[in-house]
Structure 1
Amino acid sequence: MAQSGKQVTYQRIGWVRYSNRLQLSERVAFVAEVDNRVFLSEFREQTFSLRSAVRYTFHPQIDATLGFTYAQQYPQNPESDLVVPELRPQQDITLKQEIGKVKLNHQYRLEERFIRKTIEDELASGYRFNFRFRYRLQGEVPLWHGETQEVKLVVSDEVMLNAGKSIEYNTFDQNRLYGGVQWEVSPALALELGYMKWHQQRPSGSNYFNRDVARLSVSHKLQLY
């Protein structure tokens, strides 16, 4: 890596996610998510984000979502206290299919990222902008099924690409390879525990993050109609 000029930083991260889905009608749902990520080695904040979205079901196999995320990116350097906010409108479409007992989801997402500008170790006025395109292939395999409970194996791979005038070297942004086990406690509540291998290229083009991530997800569904 030294000969190629690449610099790779290894990190261990813990990620806790809570998602609430309010089903307003047969086709329309409101989704709210809270994500909190921490560095495990120093046990300090890495990223905190809030997301809200409206999801519309065109067909049992087609969903579309219009959403917005507010995120705070905490410093990679523990000696810095700079927190960089980001405003992120986003749109996505999910195509669903079944192959035998396996359920597949193809999610295509477009994000418009407004990231607060910085000068050295301070926030500056204004935002830098870029697009980010995301594609995720996810598979769900049933492992056990009871009357009201179910256990699934969840496997996914997601690639993200940057575009825009501010992008010079990191058109490839990151890749997330994930595997986990989901326990549907009831039709309204699901718990998921998994592991993610997360590779990310930084704006310089020569700096990379290699991350091992343990993720706990809690999903809550409420039907209001």
Structure 2
Amino acid sequence: MVRKLEKWRLRIGAALVTLGLLLNGYRPAAAQEVPTTLIEDFQGWFQLITQGTISGPLKGYFELQPRFRDDIGALDRILIRPAVYFNVSPTSTLWFGLAIVPAFQTNGTFTETRFWQQFQNVAKAGDLLITNRSRLEERLVPNTDGTSIRLRHLLRLEYPFDAAKLWSLIVADEIFFNLNDVRSLPAGLDQNRAFAGFGNRLTPALKLEFGYMANFVNRPELPDRLNHNLVVTLLYNFDAR
């Protein structure tokens, strides 16, 4: 049953990511014809992640992610994202998590709360590491009139390119869809994130990743956004010590 679920999830995920790439390429092109319909910004996203076994099959995850906007000149928001997860097959895990997201805007601070569930599959084809991740989020967003349900799917490819396999090339794409209508968050495409960068295994337990992300944000009632993001991640896996 798990294998059948993985097979169909991989097919659906690939289709969603392909659609996301097409949409991510189409919208900015249209914006070049009407420049006022697209707002661009350079941002910095910095992630600190730790994960590993809590007890028996149960594993824990914690992420702290400050994001800076306005050419990395102002704090935009902080993501505080804990979770627990466990294996449902040798290559797949099931996750349950929470996210608390205070956003620092010019007119005040607003905090979003998310509950999320995730199914993740990590497979290898030779030295190529293929990650498919499907996440469902129930979002309690200030100034809306209900709970926004969002589906997001990530496809990530990582390939080592040095003899010691300490350095790797990483490319990824993640597409987001709102599944229901709430005020200011209509159903349909929410955003798409396309990433290219590098990974460096500093120690068996510590890994550094960095690169560029093109983050297209669809805003039906406002000008769309294209954020050019510097993304830096430091990940510590205490199972690998």
Aligned length: 210
Displacement of 1:164: 1.7
Match of 2:92 in 1: 62
1:93 equivalent to 2:114? Answer no
Q: Residues 6 and 208 of structure 1 are in contact (CA less than 8 Å); yes or no, is this contact kept in structure 2?
A: no
Displacement of 1:88: 0.1
| Structure 2 letter corresponding to 1:175 | N
Say which structure is richer in helix. Answer: 2
- From 118, 128, 136, the equivalent of 2:146 is 128
In structure 2, C-alpha distance between the alignment counterparts of 1:195 and 1:105, rounded to whole Å: 19
In structure 2, C-alpha distance between the alignment counterparts of 1:41 and 1:159, rounded to whole Å: 24
| Structure 2 letter corresponding to 1:114 | L
- From 152, 168, 176, the equivalent of 1:152 is 168
- From 152, 166, 183, the equivalent of 2:200 is 183
Deviations 1:25-83 (A, max 9, x none): 463211000000102536001121100000111222111110000001232xxxx2322
Equivalent pairs: percent with the same residue?
A: 21
TM value normalised by structure 2: 0.79
Q: Residues 14 and 40 of structure 1 are in contact (CA less than 8 Å); yes or no, is this contact kept in structure 2?
A: no
In structure 2, C-alpha distance between the alignment counterparts of 1:165 and 1:37, rounded to whole Å: 27
Q: Residues 120 and 133 of structure 2 are in contact (CA less than 8 Å); yes or no, is this contact kept in structure 1?
A: yes
In structure 1, C-alpha distance between the alignment counterparts of 2:240 and 2:210, rounded to whole Å: 28
Match of 1:124 in 2: none
**Aligned ranges 1:73-112 → 2 under 5 Å:** 73-75=103-105, 80-112=106-138
Displacement of 1:112: 0.2
Note closer, same or farther for the CA distance 1:5–1:156 as it changes in structure 2 (3 Å cut): closer
Displacement of 1:181: 0.7
Say which structure is richer in strand. Answer: 1
**Aligned ranges 1:1-225 → 2 under 5 Å:** 1=31, 7-25=37-55, 27-41=57-71, 43-75=73-105, 80-117=106-143, 128-146=146-164, 150-166=166-182, 169=186, 171-204=188-221, 206-223=222-239
Deviations 1:135-154 (A, max 9, x none): 110011011253xx711111
Displacement of 1:24: 2.4
Note closer, same or farther for the CA distance 1:101–1:203 as it changes in structure 2 (3 Å cut): same
In structure 1, C-alpha distance between the alignment counterparts of 2:142 and 2:61, rounded to whole Å: 26
In structure 2, C-alpha distance between the alignment counterparts of 1:224 and 1:26, rounded to whole Å: 16
| Structure 1 vs Structure 2 CA RMSD | 2.5
Displacement of 1:203: 4.9
SS, match of residue 79 in structure 2: strand
